[in-house]
Amino acid sequence: MTKRFLVTIGIMGAISVLMGAVGAHILEDNISDKYLNMFNTANEFLMYHALALIGLTAMNRNVSRSYLNTIYYLFVIGIILFSGTLYITSLTELTGFSLGLSGTLTPIGGILLIIGWIAVIISGLTYKHKKRHSEH
């Protein structure tokens, strides 16, 4: 599980940094502010959820594996749908390509992200502290 999380986090982080550079150096003067804001929103959500997954990875011994897996998949699928469709839509002016389903997929991705955060809350509410055994 930790390996899968770390690989996913690395991919998400690298894509976010790469897309940040694309937005700042290529898109800034080539697309409207509306689409640049959309692009930046997609990028921010990608990085926020990569960072959230790092935190969950650090908690992997304290949070139920079923919660971790649920949160992982909700965040990953949610980001693909939310940020992915926003990235594609924000490039419409440059590419001429319009993703007709973005009006449906983007909110579904957002809902999955919200459900993922609710799962974080539930995992916190059901958290059972494990006492450390100190050696004397």
60-110 pLDDT tens trace? 888 888 999 999 999 999 999 999 999 999 998 888 877 777 678 999 999
Using a 10 angstrom Cβ sphere, with 0-12 exposed, 13-18 middle and 19 or more buried, the burial of residue 110 is middle
Q: How far apart, in whole angstroms, are the C-alpha atoms of residue 71 and residue 120?
A: 7
What is the residue extent of each domain of the chain?
Answer: 2-125
Q: In terms of Cα–Cα distance, which of 134, 23, 1 is closest to 67?
A: 1
pTM above 0.95, yes or no: no
